Structure 1
């Protein structure tokens, strides 16, 4: 149990040092939990809508990619490596007009050269609004 807490603390330190990125800040993404295996975040719908008032699909895609990238990066951060997205696929299943969405990102593969994560995005009622898959290549840091 202590090892898990220490590891969680290291992940938190890495996140605090790097942040989730400028786009994540603009979208209002809040990271609730982060690890290579599971990352959870919320994002407000307000301010992230398209012209007819629905959550913008690009905002959902950015949320999914942010979580997948954070998870992949955390899996290799202590090895002086980084994760770079090479593929993102998202399917929008229902619309949402207000409130907050929650994204849950789970690892499918945590490899030496590639990481794959799946993200489900739900509305406040827990209904699935989108599902995504992101693939990150693992690269050496300069």
Structure 2
């Protein structure tokens, strides 16, 4: 049975209940054959003390979208996914509005996956450039 686009996005949304993704208001909004995109509002909830978007919130967004993409594109009935390394270069500040993270494959291996994740604002300005490595492990 092939799921519709809306059903897949609804399942991703349901997986976020009572998690950090729900706390940060991260929503999965688009996907294709080799990418997944999520959004996060920039509000005081994700600010650092001086009123700008916290780098850790951007990293949480990046790891959330990359890990969810690995889960989507691998056999998730037989495997589970964990992030094993993430790096981020924060390029521009953001005070309000929205940010969008798009995860695309750099490497799609059976065991490890490497993701490029660009975090951009509403005008497609690069806010942060991230790289995530995930590992797929067999369920027992």
Whether the TM-score (by the shorter chain) exceeds 0.5 is: yes
TM category (shorter chain) comes to: 0.7 to 0.9
Distance 1:61 1:136, change over 3 A: same
1:50-89 aligned within 5 A: 50-89=48-87
Distance 1:74 1:10, change over 3 A: farther
Structure 2: distance between partners of 1:38 and 1:63: 15
SS of aligned partner of 1:132? strand
Q: Which moved further from structure 2: 82-91 or 10-19?
A: 10-19
Structure 2: distance between partners of 1:34 and 1:134: 18
In proportion to residue count, which structure has more helix?
Answer: 1
- What is the number of residues matched between the two proteins? 139
Matched, 1:112 2:104: no
Q: Which moved further from structure 2: 31-40 or 96-105?
A: 31-40
SS of aligned partner of 2:105? strand
What is the alpha-carbon root mean square deviation over aligned residues?
A: 2.3
Give structure 2 stretches of 5+ with no counterpart: none
The alignment's TM-score, normalised by the length of structure 2, stands at 0.87
Distance 1:10 1:129, change over 3 A: same
Q: Aligned-pair distance for 1:22?
A: 0.3
Give structure 1 stretches of 5+ with no counterpart: none
After the TM superposition, which segments of 4 or more aligned residues of structure 1 sit over 6 Å from their partners?
Answer: none
Distance 1:17 1:76, change over 3 A: farther
